[in-house]
Amino acid sequence: MNIKDFINRAKNRSKSKIWIMTFGALLGLAILATLNTVSSYTSTDKYCMSCHVHPWAEETWKLSSHHNNRTGVSVHCVECHLPPQGEGYLLAKVKHGAKDVYGKLFKDSAKINWEAKKMLENAKGFTYEASCIKCHQNLFPVTLSVNGSNAHLAYINTKEDPKPNCINCHLNVGHFDKNVKHEHNTNFGVDAAASKELFTEATRVDKFANFTEKIPGTTVAFDMVAIPEGTFNMGSPDDEQLRKPDEGPVRKVKLSKFWMGKVEVSWNEYLAFFQATGSQGRTEGQVIKNKNVDAITGPTPPWGAPDQGWGKGSKPAITMSWRAANTYCQWLTKVTGKKYRLPTEAEWEYACRGNTTTPYFFKGDPKKFTSKGIFKKIFGRDTTTISSYIAYTENSFSKTKDPSEMKENPFGLKNMAGNVAEFCSDYYAPDTYSKRRREIINPIGPQSGQEHVIRGGSFKSDAKDVRSAARDFTKTKAWLVTDPQMPKSVWWYSDCIDNGFRVVCEADSVQ
């Protein structure tokens, strides 16, 4: 091969490389342009609405302040439900997109619990705080109220858990809900006027048997169930499935007889107390320590709608604090002449079990009922039996149920487990049961503490948390994160919507 041929071949190879590189560059640009077009198209509101089958998403977005506002600015789906560009945008888009496509192809939208999807704990999983801050950079505009400024100061200055998130207070700014308002509800309870003849006196009781209590000066009555004295093993044994350490060791407890409310205190009952003792114009800063033993100072007006828009009436009252529930019992004692109070933890578990020793007061296996675990999510779980007795995460649609929908336990009580978690009078301690191992008579729990026991689980709970021995406790600080008042309310929890209570009446107080 001569030099001329070598040079020509080299030129041809060089031209081929140039063409290949040019083609590769053009192909790469075409792919990038296509990906950008696909990314842009799949980020439009129209595309989001075509895939998401929420029955309320588009309508509530159009009614919200993120679309329907005086400025005419419309905030689009991806501006809230994806992080800002450069902060994991594409990764989040792929993750959420894959999940959405799976749901579109393989799930029945009619069976999806949409109410649960709207709840704060779920919304945090697909609403990005960084996106909120990107748009709302001035947290102290001149139009901000004093309460708003206090809330934003708490947001900035709180470093430890529970640290507030933007949507703790602004959950419904992107999807409007007329039943949820973050404002002082000074008209709460005033529309519950009596339309029937008022009771003039409380029910007279002369024997230990079930009775219906009447609240004097109201049209409200409720059923009390006679719970006989007895001895039972309190707590869960070491071999009980899905138990927690604070449920043991098991100890033998002996209890005197008492009455217990057949169902949780209803809104009808609680509003009778609120109307009789509350003051519509009073604020937390005006709560004065009560020095008159004959008077009961009741709750201040709440923020928002304590019933969450689910309805009042015979449904369980919720969102009141432990102090408010305890004050209700003091008021009920005063107006009826009987000794009403919150149940002790021992009384609650005894009444819930109804002389049973199994995890539930009906036959059932916690591992079969629980929804925890990937295989349970794919293949489902047994819910027939538990759903007839308990309103929990699988059958509640993330809201309270009327007591008429559930079966009674062996003592004739309803919703002892599930529906709403119930306050007990005891302070909580994780090692309460280990302090005394011998038989105990009418225990009342620790002498002091920071939080109180709650029992029974709620409409949010998994099956493992509605077992008869399952324990929990109040989280006062966490449940007041979004209360903008200074001081924060002692009567209402701003961030706990699944707690209520039922009452106990002491047998000795009427005999």
What is the full DSSP assignment across 303-319?
BS-TTTTS--TTSBP-S
List of residues 6+ apart from 127 with CB closer than 8 A: 80, 81, 167, 174
Taking the alpha carbons of 107, 112, 114, 116 in that order, is the dihedral positive or negative?
negative
- Measured distance CA(93)–CA(494) in Å, rounded: 32
Count the domains in the chain: 3
Quote the pLDDT of residue 227: 98
Q: How far apart are CA 233 and CA 243, in angstroms?
A: 15
Residues 6+ apart with CB under 8 A from 157: none
Q: Which of 121, 154, 170 is the last residue of a domain?
A: 170
The values of phi and psi at residue 34, to 5°, are: -65, -45
What pTM was computed for the model?
0.84
Q: What pLDDT sits at residue 237?
A: 95
What size, in residues, is the chain? 511
- Which residue ranges of the chain lie beneath pLDDT 50? 193, 288-294
Instruction: Assess if residue 180 is contained within a domain.
Output: no
Q: What is the DSSP letter of 355?
A: T
Asked if residue 141 belongs to a domain, the reply is yes
Domain assignment of residue 248, yes or no: yes
**Closest C-alpha among 206, 335, 287 to residue 485:** 287
Do the domain assignments include residue 177? no
Residue 344 pLDDT: 98
Dump the DSSP string for 359-391. Answer: SSSSS--HHHH---SHHHHHH----HHHHHH-B
pLDDT at 163: 79
Are both 295 and 244 inside the same structural domain?
yes
Tell me what pLDDT residue 1 has. 57
CATH number at residue 493: 3.90.1580.10
Q: Who's near 462: CB < 8 A, 6+ residues apart?
A: 370, 371, 372, 392, 393
End position of a domain, from candidates 143, 170, 197:
170
Return d(Cα 327, Cα 324) in angstroms, integer. 5
**Which tokens is 177 given?**
């809900």
Query: Residue 427 in 3-state DSSP?
Result: strand
- Whether 496 and 319 have beta carbons less than 8 Å apart is answered as yes
Which residues does 353 contact at the CB level (< 8 Å), separation at least 6?
Answer: 232, 361, 468
> What number of CA atoms fall less than 13 Å from residue 393's CA on the CB side?
16
Task: Tell me, yes or no, whether 164 and 280 share the same domain.
Answer: no
Q: Are residues 269 and 309 in the same domain?
A: yes
> 33 and 83: one domain?
no
CA angle 142, 484, 193 (to 5 degrees): 115
Nearest to 415 by CA among 395, 445, 443, 432: 395
3-state secondary structure of 471: strand
Are both 253 and 351 inside the same structural domain?
yes
Identify the helix (H) or strand (E) that includes residue 122.
Answer: helix 120-123
For residue 162, say if its preceding peptide bond is cis, omega within 30 degrees of 0.
yes
**374 lies in the same domain as 488:** yes
Asked if the structure places residue 333 within a domain, the reply is: yes
Would 363 be classed as within a structural domain? Answer: yes
- Is residue 197 situated within a structural domain? no
In-domain check, residue 10 = yes
Residue 467, phi then psi, degrees to nearest 5? -65, 155
User: Do 284 and 338 sit in the same domain of this protein?
Assistant: yes
DSSP state of 245: G
* 132, 250: one domain: no
Query: Which domain covers residue 105, as residue numbers?
Result: 57-170
Does residue 143 sit in the same domain as residue 281?
A: no
